[in-house]
Structure 1
């Protein structure tokens, strides 16, 4: 492998253009070409755009970033694996668990680095939150509540809000807490006239008794990206729009009423907003993947992890369709 990695990009949609911007300035990487079938597609100055995958593969790529529609991830990813090209595939990894498993198998069998673009893992607020949870600053964890709301993004056409947005919350919840999903119960609605759901409310049980609630929609005229984890010593609130992390500590609530002493209540204590370094999550994601391709120890989202997120998302959709709680088979 050359000292400078030769990278390619597949897809110049809204997310693809962001990938192109980062790839074009990433240390140790040369963005040699972009594939997009649109006749007027244009990338960064000096980077050629080719209309098909054969022409992109002819550029002798070391790795590729896949930012095309989710429905094409399996086909494109398998072609890359067969060609010996490492790949970072945008989330969700695939539209089904079966397709995600094929991709994970193909990259593992070829000895290639395969990763999934779950960008929230690299948000500074969540990075700090995970470190603090691992250090035991919250004590026992009781509940995770995520809220991800905003207007409909015109870039999305092939999946609903569960696969597009809720997969962020599913992945970050499992990653931040270190717990696996056991079962989910969900309800979805479609109010925008599109064939896919545009709102979901889900309740999930994770291992060790942790409870999670996810509210996700494309129907709110404001943007909200909030993760609240409540536990023994208080609550952490991560705002991934501003990359802020705040801690609300419990204060002891004493009572002289003997009949109520058995109930351990809490009261408002100190509030701390942490000062944390704030680097662009997409840049950090690309740096971690580049390092992995170079054979260095690196914190990437593996395709097996991406597959488990798709498995939970499928369970959410199945629960909403059947009106019952659904077991998640992949929990350990």
Structure 2
């Protein structure tokens, strides 16, 4: 490899444009070529040449690639890159379904390549700080994780519904925060915008660890909300990933004199702390982690195995909604 890793970018849509900007700004990597059938009308690729195909991009000589195209195209492109020995970051979800995700994850594993999935919320400063504090024991035992992710419909999404697009953020972040996989899920979905795919979901779940979870996700709210609440033995953390803020609501304690309720182990309102965090751009952190994984310096990426697990949980949510029953996540 050269001193700088040569990156190829496939897809210059809304997310691809952000990838192009961050690649250009990140030390140790350079944008060596891009592929998009619509060209580069906004000029986001800078001096990087526009290639006619993924094959042409590979032939030009790249060390790594970022795949930021519609979900249905992920498998074919990722497998082509794996066969060529190219380390790859695929935007979430990994693939449209778990069989294709299995093929992709296996291909990168068998080739000994770094395969990552762009679950960017893991790099949000509020969630990173939250995980560190949970791991340090600041919350004691974790009881429940609840997320709310809602906002207006993004016109760029056409090939999957809100479960595989938006909800996979919450699936990934929840399992990551709890260090535990999803065991069972129960979900309800609705399609109110006239599209073929669902645009609303509410889901509850139990993790292998016993933590219970709740997720409210939709594309039909006029306001944007991205909130994660983790409740535990010593209080509750509230992470707002729009602002990158993290707040801790501590359990208060009151001496009880009422004999009939003394056996109830309840809590009352205590101190509230809003933490000052170093707020770096999550996408930049994601690219730094991918770069470092390629160089063998770190493994702080969302692996394709984890990305596949997120797809399986999303599929379980859709099966549950279709059957109106709680279902187990397939392993």
- Whether TM exceeds 0.5 here: the answer is yes
CA distance, structure 1, for counterparts of residue 153 and residue 181 of structure 2? 30
In the aligned structure 1, how far is the partner of 2:255 from the partner of 2:212? Answer: 27
After TM superposition, list the pairs within 5 Å mapping 1:103-182 onto structure 2. Answer: 103-182=104-183
Q: Match for residue 9 of structure 2?
A: 9
Instruction: Give 1:39 deviation, angstroms.
Output: 4.5
Map 1:282-297 → 2, pairs under 5 A: 282-297=283-298
Q: Matched residues in 1 for 2:17 and 2:302: separation?
A: 21
**Offset, 1:77:** 0.2
**How far off is 1:209 after superposition?**
1.7
Please report how far the alpha carbon of residue 253 of structure 1 lies from its aligned counterpart in structure 2 after TM superposition. Answer: 3.0
SS at match of 1:247: strand
**How far 1:51 sits from its partner (Å)?**
2.9
Structure 2 spans left out of the alignment, 5+ residues:
none
What is the match of residue 58 of structure 2? 57
Shift of 1:254: 2.8
**Corresponding pairs, count:** 330
8 Å Cα contact 2:12/2:40 also seen in 1:
no
Determine if contact 1:253/1:265 at 8 Å carries over to the other structure. Answer: no
Please list the CA deviations of residues 216-259 of structure 1 after superposition, one character each: whole Å capped at 9, or x if unmatched. Answer: 00000000000000111000000000000000000113321111
Cα shift readout 1:144-165 (whole Å, capped 9, x = no counterpart) = 1100010001111111000000
Question: How far is the alpha carbon of 1:30 from its aligned partner?
Answer: 1.4
Deviation at 1:45, TM superposition (A): 2.2
Scaled by the length of structure 1, what TM-score is found?
0.98
Alpha-carbon distance in structure 1 between the residues aligned to 2:84 and 2:223: 43
Q: Output the aligned Cα RMSD.
A: 1.0
Residues 150, 219 of structure 2: 8 Å contact kept: yes
The answer for the alignment partner of 2:96 in structure 1 is: 95
- Could you tell me whether the CA contact under 8 Å between 1:34 and 1:43 is conserved in 2? no
Native 8 Å contact 1:43 1:49 kept in 2: no
- Give SS of 2:176's match: helix
Secondary structure of the 2:330 match is coil
1:40 Cα shift?
5.3
Partner of 2:328: 327
Q: CA separation in 2, counterparts of 1:145 and 1:271?
A: 19
Displacement after TM superposition at 1:24 (Å): 1.4
Cα offsets for 1:278-316 (capped at 9, x unmatched): 100000000010111112123011100100000100000
Residue 32 of structure 2 aligns with which residue? Answer: 32
Greater CA drift, 225-234 or 202-211: 202-211
